[in-house]
Structure 1
């Protein structure tokens, strides 16, 4: 996981990265987010810390091809640095992004408290809940087995991959990286972005009742935005509180708040696409 995010630097403004080959043919969106954060963050002054990023998923990425991350500086001030980025595979641009970095200043601090939820120890683990269904996706075109090996996740809101049925557009997951990751702020933020891509669109589309293994369904992330409010350690438990306020024209909007040590540390939003191909 850490090797995946530590990109190869080609010159001052260009980096290259790779994807794990684990059965899935398309590059996982969270990987692109995490790698983009690492590329942009390595071009700003050390005192400037990432506070927001956004991007658009333009085309599916191929896990068998190298990804080139091309960074462009558009602002370099004493307090703020802003970067644009294109992620390309050959002549294809698969992702465009932007990020803003801010020199730490001021002492006032106010962070929303975590909602009233049971601790991780009282919730069922992802691996335990999906014991019977996991063999159905092992070796298939799915990123889930890899993500489950990297992150431990617990929830009261798991639903069947095969036939989930309609559910309310709410979700909540305790999560932590299974192995230590150190305390590099940029790497910790990239890891948070990596895992946060997984559930936003799925939460927004829950009322449609379509399962992850439904052969008629086609899903894709369209865009993603994150705001980082306070330091976070992804190898310690954090809670991801999710909702889906809208779904229209096959697009669903997911909103997520991330809490650690009882306080809000980041906010994420994403719009995704879900099409259902129905036989005539």
Structure 2
């Protein structure tokens, strides 16, 4: 009976640890206060510095609460967890527990209690923090963005490119003085297999783009394939060799080409590669398969 009870406790503990780790993986950052509630001054006894050091050491991305925060965290504080150290009452003993608290004030994970009988405050607090932190150092932590967070979890360069994309889309839609709109083509009913046979792709695409747009249009008949990646697709040819990266814009079938002043969008069943230099518009039809 004792052995069965021991096995049961081990199984339950493992399940709790896996659940805690899964919850922790939902968060991208750890925010450490410069002063914990039980202390009288900022970073007193180096408690905040030690806490930040330990989280950094074990693979977490950590900021003090008065640091310049990343743009995504500034815009959405729910991407981070606040580390809160609680002092637990004890007779002639120092006891500390490290909680990770979400943006709504809910405790996501609590550490084991670190304790020591050392009387000197600085040594006692640092020993107790290190003991409590053992809970977090053995997690195989890796941030996994939730579906709702993926649109927010974008680095600065991608945000700049998306802003540029919006300008290009507006140019495609409304720059009537310089760009002739792409005509609507209602008679294209080619299936995927027929588009590439007997020059149908070339002919149909010229019907789609066959209008003067202050630059030449072209058809690229080399087969390309889209491979899903975070926030978009990697486009490869038949070798396979990477051709470009397409980034999601939040608009269906419209992508920004990473590192270029261009977009790829779907028009009448065809994928169009558009480059707008600010003076003219150049279009190409891609033989692209998702």
Q: Give the structure with the larger strand fraction.
A: 1
TM-score tier (shorter): under 0.3
TM-score, structure 1 normalization: 0.20
Q: TM-score scaled to structure 2, two decimals?
A: 0.19
Higher relative contact order, structure no. (Cα contacts within 8 Å, ≥ 6 residues apart): 1
Higher normalized helix content (fraction of residues): 2
